[in-house]
Amino acid sequence: MLEYSNIISYIFIIGAAQGLLLGVFLFKKDENRVANRLLAVLMVIFALDLLNSVAFLTGAINNFPWTIGLSNTFPYLYGPFIYLYVKILREGDDKFHHGYLLHAIPFIIVTLYGLFFFYFESIEYQLSLLDFYTDPPWHIKLVGNLIPVSGVIYIFLTMWEANRYNQKIKQTFSNIEKIKLSWAKHFVFGAILVWLIVFLAYLLNYLLGEETQANLLIYIAITILLYNLGIKALNQPEVHFEPISDQEDKPERYKKSGLADEIAEEILLSLENLMQKEKPYINSKLSLNDLAGVLAVSTHNLSEVINTKTGKNFYDYINSYRHNEVVRMLEDSSYDHFSILAIGLEAGFSSKSAYYKAFRKYTGTTPSKFKEELLENRRIAS
């Protein structure tokens, strides 16, 4: 029967192979090029970290103990890379700005520390750090203990960016199902779970001793997280944002706007006339840029008008009209030969899930139940 350490080693080897393979696929992907290449580099780094753990479990690390330092430096890249991946997706310009390098400062500091206090020390000293019963110097402990702190900081930063990304999507598109907003939310929750496991591992090491090898739980959790993230990234379509203001998508951002109130009212009137007469919302691919082009106004001004004058974002504003169109068609007996789903698609919804979700939001029931009540009321009235 295989020993526990051998089983874990095989899992890590498989995880490293998957990470390298995903890294290659992500690097070659044309969509979201910069974001995916950043994630590809992260996959390769993590694969190397996993292989280093395999060397530790099998004892091969005794031949090159200096690689122990990598286990305390690579983790300072995980949080920044994941945060920047989401940030670049949100900004939508597919560029790597030099300011992003500031997030590598903790990694650089820890690497410099290693150069002065670890990498060029004797092999005996490096091997002594593998002994669970030897208390390492306080500064080495500090470097390891600051890893969860870095993780928590970047979890909050990533949550913030993911929320801004979701808001920006809803300010730009009227149908968002193919963009799969849920990936960001699920990923952030997964990252939170990983860092909870990190804290649990540190707590177990503190209470029961390093010989418990609780840190292996961390690598198992991150293997699952990054593998899922890589798969999601491969399936994530490229989202092209039009140049809207890069501020928080809330009405408060328009308080200092140069758009006069009377001009805003004129744009709103033109917009509502267009929506009622031309029904552009029945186009399931309608975007903010499309509507702004028809009205001959900037996307920023149109977004401002919708936000401040209706209290809705673009996504909710368009879907409120689609909902009203569905209600009109359901109430019109000439559409009785249409299926419930066909009516939703005719009104501009791109999927059953989006259709039912919006209908329930505005009506409090499903289209099917709404139709049943209408038919019942007609029967009673007749």
CATH of the domain at 156: 1.20.1070
Question: Span 169-185, mean pLDDT?
Answer: 69
Has residue 124 been placed in a domain?
A: yes
Whether residue 305 is found in the same domain as residue 191: no
Whether residue 318 is found in the same domain as residue 359: yes
Task: For residue range 187-200, list pLDDT tens digits in order.
Answer: 677 777 877 887 78
The number of domains in the chain is 2
DSSP at 136: P
Q: Of 177, 204, 235, which residue sits at a domain end? A: 235
CATH number for the domain that contains residue 362: 1.10.10.60
Q: At CA 223, angle to CA 161 and CA 217, rounded to 5?
A: 105
Q: Of 177, 200, 235, which residue sits at a domain end? A: 235
Band of the pLDDT at 257, cuts 50, 70, 90? low
- Is 240 exposed, middle or buried (CB count within 10 Å of its CB: 0-12, 13-18, 19+)? exposed
Q: At CA 237, angle to CA 75 and CA 47, rounded to 5?
A: 25
Whether residue 288 is found in the same domain as residue 175: no
Whether residue 315 is found in the same domain as residue 275: yes
Question: 254 — alpha (psi -120 to 50), left (phi > 0) or beta?
Answer: alpha
Whether residue 172 is found in the same domain as residue 45: yes
Band of the pLDDT at 214, cuts 50, 70, 90? confident
Whether residue 211 is found in the same domain as residue 287: no
Whether residue 42 is found in the same domain as residue 158: yes
Question: Span 227-252, mean pLDDT?
Answer: 56
- How far, in Å, CA of 271 to CA of 327, rounded? 21
Has residue 374 been placed in a domain?
A: yes
Residues in a beta bridge with 287: 173
Whether residue 97 is found in the same domain as residue 11: yes
Whether residue 193 is found in the same domain as residue 276: no
Whether residue 125 is found in the same domain as residue 215: yes
- In terms of residue numbers, what domain contains 364? 257-381
Percent share of the chain, pLDDT over 70: 86
Band of the pLDDT at 182, cuts 50, 70, 90? low
pTM here? Answer: 0.71
- Phi, psi of 287, rounded to the nearest 5 degrees: -125, 170
Whether residue 206 is found in the same domain as residue 174: yes
Where is pLDDT greater, at 43 or 233? Answer: 43
Length of the chain: 382
Has residue 248 been placed in a domain?
A: no
- Phi, psi of 200, rounded to the nearest 5 degrees: -65, -45
- How far, in Å, CA of 63 to CA of 56, rounded? 10
Q: Helix 182-208 to helix 215-235 angle, to the nearest 10 degrees?
A: 170
Whether residue 112 is found in the same domain as residue 212: yes
